[in-house]
A and B are shown apart, each in its own frame.
Chain A
């Protein structure tokens, strides 16, 4: 029983990180209808930004943690906007395939620039938040896991507020619904798209720092697998659906932890793809998605 609860907590904390990254995929898909492959590398840049920001600061204090988190989010938000402006904006209105290939190019560029700049060797990520292990009836919860939940919850509610109750959020939803009609009623599409990229990239940075706090080793290729899994989470929940991304992330984290706990740890990276293929075969609109007629 305690074993089950312990795995449940581990799975949920992993899933919360996937959920944060998945939100970026889902929001960009919502407004531009393409998969931003580079998102997983923005996640990596977020972790590295945190690493360098934390260097001059004292470790083990909540103040450092929050400061580093916000700093890395700002840096990545800027990076997201720049990527969109330089690589994706010239392709507006071109085929999905063209944009997709470009996104793969951007992703490879970030990875290889990262290897050039940061070096290919893994670095150990400092403990940003105070480290403590809480014991309760045989269950161990680390402070890093609690931080993951806290930060993820706060960010999710902030995001919910932004998307549902602000003018920009309304514009985002309008754009996602129908870009032409949105621009007809005065939405500045380019600005909203920039904003979406900033928002998604900031969440990816938060995910990167939380991930690095839990698995304290970072390297320039660290984004690929969590990024892929977060994408699977986005599809699992129904891509373009913000609540779906959160649910999908949690479900995927639980499934992956369950497979590892059942002794399949060497297959843990294949789990996500198996889930993806299954969901696409059985329920391609995702858990929370609506079925829409597919147009060619």
Chain B
């Protein structure tokens, strides 16, 4: 799918989001909460889609990147909030923006660290290594007492709102979309389709894989920062394997390398998860069955109708 003027579309989307957010005091707070979760999940799923979908890698540690970003941003605004706020001239949004970017960069650094070993690994090994990295991040966070250890970090200022969440989602979608549809970005798809052939055509597969991890982790970190400043409380357990799986399911359901589908799946699963909350355990049973049945019957995802499946050997 081509979009004629993606920049204009982004501007339009941001404008609409601004308008929507301006009236956010009038919305039902519960629905507002779900809407913000949707925005965060869309960011997470679309950024993971760059790694797992377009570039054909398989990361199971996206929640770890999110956790790094969340903690980095929250530490800046919570533990060093007062002096930094003074430095920012009392402008909370400026402090929040800087903290978010710092969180994103920290996550990107983590992504770089994961990305480098990933050059040598394919498929299942990479999945395990990223899973391991996610777990290591969780264990390390649990062992740092300054950020609350296993109890989590409390008292994070509630800077984030609908505008931040949706704005971030829009920018993330735009960046991933623009990257993949640029001349440069064709390389991601080439690496996913056939790494050997891509290398033979002069594409530096290594660089593409690292770029995918960097950008994906960066946006996951930003999403973590928004999440932390919306919930105002974070704990290491919230960034574990279950969270990563949830994001992976969104990408699989939407179809790997299919941004509109992934957005739809992220929103669908967030709303569905919210309405299935009373079913508790059954929700995860449903998720797992969904994965198995989808893989057997529709490996290209629910929201992809054309025959050219992206999942390749």
B33 interface hit (Cβ, 8 Å): no
Q: Does B302 contact A (CB under 8 A)?
A: no
CA distance A280 to B128 in the complex (A): 11
Closest CB in chain A relative to B288 CB, distance in Å: 4
Q: Is A87 an interface residue (CB 8 A)?
A: yes
Let me know if A108 and B136 touch, CB within 8 A.
Answer: no
Contacts A107-B288, A280-B120 supplied; 10 other A-B pairs, CB < 8 Å:
A106-B292, A116-B285, A224-B241, A235-B125, A269-B139, A270-B136, A280-B117, A281-B117, A284-B121, A296-B197
Q: Does B287 contact A (CB under 8 A)?
A: yes
Nearest CB to that of A35 among chain B residues? B124
CA distance A46 to B17 in the complex (A): 52
- In the complex, how many residues of chain A place their beta carbon closer than 8 angstroms to a beta carbon of chain B? 44
With contacts A104-B245, A269-B135, A276-B129 taken as known, whether A98 is within 8 angstroms of B288 at the C-beta atoms is: no
Contact call A273/B288, Cβ cutoff below 8 A: no
| Alpha-carbon gap, A112 to B284, bound state (A) | 6
Whole-angstrom distance between the Cβ of B208 and the nearest chain A Cβ: 14
- Expressed in whole angstroms, the Cα–Cα distance for A91 and B195 within the complex equals 23
Enumerate chain B residues within 8 angstroms of A109, measured Cβ to Cβ.
285, 288-289, 292
Question: B58 interface residue, CB < 8 Å from A?
Answer: yes
- Nearest to B114 among chain A residues (CB) is A277
Interchain CB contact (< 8 A) of A98 among B195, B241, B284, B295: B295
Bound-complex Cα distance A108 to B76 (A): 36
Please, how many angstroms separate the alpha-carbon atoms of A268 and B114 in the complex? 20
Report the Cα distance A99→B299, complex, angstroms.
Answer: 10
Docked Cα-Cα span, A101 to B195, in Å, equals 20
Determine the chain A residues whose CB is within 8 A of the CB of B129 once the complex forms. Answer: 273, 276-277, 280
Instruction: Give A87-105 as 1s and 0s: 1 = Cβ < 8 Å from B's Cβ atoms.
Output: 1001100111111111011
Query: Which of chain B's residues have a CB closer than 8 A to the CB of A107?
Result: 288
Given the complex of chains A and B, what is the CA–CA distance between A90 and B298 in angstroms? 12
Shortest C-beta distance, B125 to chain A (Å), equals 6
Closest B residue to A34 by beta carbon equals B124
B274 touches A (CB below 8 Å) = no
Q: Determine whether the beta carbon of A97 is less than 8 Å from that of B132.
A: no
Most chain B CB atoms below 10 A, which of A96, A112, A113, A235: A112
* B291 close to chain A: CB less than 8 A: yes
Please, what's the 1-or-0 string for B268-297, where 1 marks a CB less than 8 Å from any CB in chain A? 000000000000011011011111100110
A-B contact pairs, 11 of them (CB 8 A): A34-B124, A35-B128, A91-B295, A98-B311, A101-B252, A101-B291, A113-B285, A274-B136, A281-B117, A284-B121, A294-B122
B60 partner residues in chain A, CB cutoff 8 A: 104
Chain A residues with CB below 8 A from B295, complex form: 91, 98-99, 101-102, 105
Query: How far, in angstroms, from A284 to B194 measured CA to CA in the complex?
Result: 22
Q: Which of A199-244 contact B (CB under 8 A)?
A: 224, 228, 231, 235
User: Is there contact, CB below 8 Å, between B123 and A102?
Assistant: no
- Cβ–Cβ contact B291 & A104, under 8 A: yes
For residue A267, CB closer than 8 A to chain B, the reply is yes
Contact between A281 and B291, CB atoms less than 8 A apart: no
The smallest C-beta distance from A66 to any residue of chain B, in angstroms, reads: 34
| Chain A residues whose C-beta falls within 8 Å of the C-beta of B245 in the assembled complex | 104, 108
**B78 interface contact, C-beta 8 A:** no
Contact pick for B133, options A104, A273, A284, CB 8 Å:
A273
Q: Is residue B15 contacting chain A, with contact meaning CB distance below 8 A?
A: no
Give the distance in Å from the alpha carbon of A102 to the alpha carbon of B282 in the complex: 18
State the CA gap A87–B297 with chains docked (Å). 11
Q: A269-B139, A280-B120 are in contact. Are A112 and B285 (CB under 8 A)?
A: yes
The answer on a CB contact under 8 Å between A94 and B117 is: no
Identify the closest chain A residue to B123 (Cβ): A96
B313 close to A (CB within 8 Å): yes
Is A266 engaged at the interface, CB distance under 8 Å to the other chain? yes
B299 and A98 contact, CB distance less than 8 A: yes
Instruction: Check B7 for interface membership: any CB of A closer than 8 A.
Output: no
Query: A112-B285, A280-B129, A281-B117 in contact; A102/B142 too (CB < 8 A)?
Result: no
In chain A, what residue has the closest Cβ to B60?
Answer: A104
Give residues 104-149 of B contacting A (CB, 8 Å): 117, 120-125, 127-129, 131-133, 135-136, 139-140, 142-143
Would you call A2 an interface residue if the criterion is a C-beta within 8 Å of the partner chain's C-beta atoms? no
- Return the contact of A276 from the options B128, B143, B287 (Cβ within 8 A): B128
In the complex, A121 has a CB within 8 A of chain B: no
Contacts of A281 in B (CB 8 A): 117, 120
Is the pair B139, A267 in contact by a Cβ cutoff of 8 Å?
Answer: yes
Return chain B residues, CB-CB under 8 Å to A90: 296
